[in-house]
Amino acid sequence: MEIIITESQYQNLTEEKLREFLYGFWDNQKKHGEEPSLDYMLFRVLDINKETREDYDTIRPIWYEYNGGSEVLFKKLEDEIDAKEYKLVEGEFDLETTMKVVHLDFERPILEIMVDVDPRGTMVFHGWNEDTDEEYMVNDTIDAGYHEALLNYEGSDFEGMIRSSVYDFFYNLLEKYGIPIDVEIDLQEIYGAPYGINENTQKPTRKSDILIQMWDKEKEEKGYATFDEDILQYFNITDNQDKYDYATLFTEYIGGFDDAFKIIDKITKNNFNTEDFPKKIVGGYNFKWKIIHLGVKDGEILMESKIDNGGTVTLIGDGRMVTLYDAVRNNDFNFLYGWEIENEVKEVVEDCMNFLIRPKTGIKIGVQSVSIE
């Protein structure tokens, strides 16, 4: 079947004429025993690029109308794939695994599909021999490939490649519905619980094992390892308790609480200046301080600090710079009370100290009090 219209005919198409043309096109597909579709030939005829804003604003609304509305199409799509499992096979990387649709979120015009991809599947990926500095190809589990990516390049790049394969699968499967899609993936076992630090208290899980190997590598290269919460995001570790567990794992890795306390004690013997810390931490504050007391209470490390004379704060409301001494004793500045300024100073000190301490120990400290002169 071939439909041709001239340029002048196309230019004269009103919205109603366009609707009439599209309805006729899809009705003709039905007459020829075909399922109505957003065929690429249709877009070539209309000189509109598929999956562009012009398409979404002109063609898709009429397509939804023809099919009884976008909700009708979404319901059919949902019935087909929601909570379903599929075999994902991709030739370029010899990728073979199981995946499962875990959530659908239809925020018009895009349908977001959340998919769990089983990391026990297999694929071919690049490995790196540290002894010879040579790259090699290996066929192993997706989990092992992700492990290799975290150690030697970007885990997000690796996940992006998996996501691309998942997207292509669902694009081809769901194109018939004409609903634009986006795909988000999570590397989770399809059967059983996802990897987690508390799976087996007697044996490290794959995630903790990967982290320890990363710390080993960093320690070998730099002489020390660091705890980085951003790395936890790669493993989808976002729960506060899980973050605490992995931070505790790092504390144990560097020798336990006593060794960590020695590191903290050494750090806190220095004098500190807000100018040495990122602006996003210190804001409009400018002062120097020292730690005058360090202790442990109920397993938590707490400290007290003393702010040196001459510290200042730039008030947000009018941009005035005033001394901390005046700010905490005068209630007229920017409608802030002195205790609010004092609390903010304490938060700045606490954030700055954790900026230094947490990466080296995995421990978050608390500042009990500040003394402002």
- Residue 368 reports pLDDT greater than 60: yes
- Residue 302 reports pLDDT greater than 80: yes
Predicted structure pTM score: 0.55
pLDDT tens string 12-48: 557 888 899 999 999 999 999 999 999 888 898 888 9
Torsional sign, CA 327, 329, 335, 341 = positive
In terms of phi and psi (left: phi > 0; alpha: psi -120 to 50; beta: otherwise), the region of 297 is beta
pLDDT of 370: 87
pLDDT of 6: 60
Reported as a pLDDT band with limits 50, 70 and 90, residue 196 is very low
Contacts of 288 (CB under 8 A, 6+ apart): 271, 272, 273, 274, 307, 308, 310, 311
Q: Which residues of the chain form beta strands (DSSP E)?
A: 85-90, 95-107, 110-117, 122-129, 134-141, 181-187, 271-273, 285-286, 288-297, 300-307, 312-314, 321-323, 366-372
In 3D, which of 314, 219, 227 has the Cα closest to residue 274?
314
Torsional sign, CA 24, 28, 34, 38 = negative
Mean pLDDT over each residue of the chain, to the nearest integer? 85
- Residue 70 reports pLDDT greater than 70: yes
Look at 45-49, 53-57, 141-145, 189-193 and tell me which has the smallest mean pLDDT: 189-193
Task: Match 């996940």 to its residue by tokens.
Answer: 159
pLDDT tens string 200-225: 333 334 678 778 888 998 898 889 99
Reported as a pLDDT band with limits 50, 70 and 90, residue 194 is very low
Distance CA 155, CA 150 (A): 5
Asked if 55 and 48 touch (Cβ cutoff 8 Å), the reply is yes
Estimate the crossing angle of helix 206-222 against helix 240-253, to 10 degrees: 50
pLDDT of 197: 40
pLDDT of 193: 38
pLDDT tens string 275-291: 999 999 999 999 999 99
Percent of the chain with pLDDT over 90: 49
- Provide the 8-state DSSP code for 195: P
- Residue 172 reports pLDDT greater than 90: yes
In 3D, which of 194, 296, 297, 298 has the Cα closest to residue 239?
194
- Residue 354 reports pLDDT greater than 90: yes
Which pair of tokens denotes residue 232? 């936890």
The C-alpha R_g of the chain, in whole angstroms, comes to 30
Mean per-residue pLDDT for 76-99?
93
Amino acid present at 78: E
Distance CA 251, CA 262 (A): 12
Asked if 311 and 324 touch (Cβ cutoff 8 Å), the reply is yes
Estimate the crossing angle of helix 155-174 against helix 70-81, to 10 degrees: 110
Beta bridge mates, 139: 124
- Residue 333 reports pLDDT greater than 60: no
Distance CA 228, CA 101 (A): 31
**Other beta carbons within 10 Å of 161:** 16
C-alpha angle with apex 86: 81 to 90, nearest 5 degrees?
125
pLDDT of 155: 56
pLDDT of 63: 96
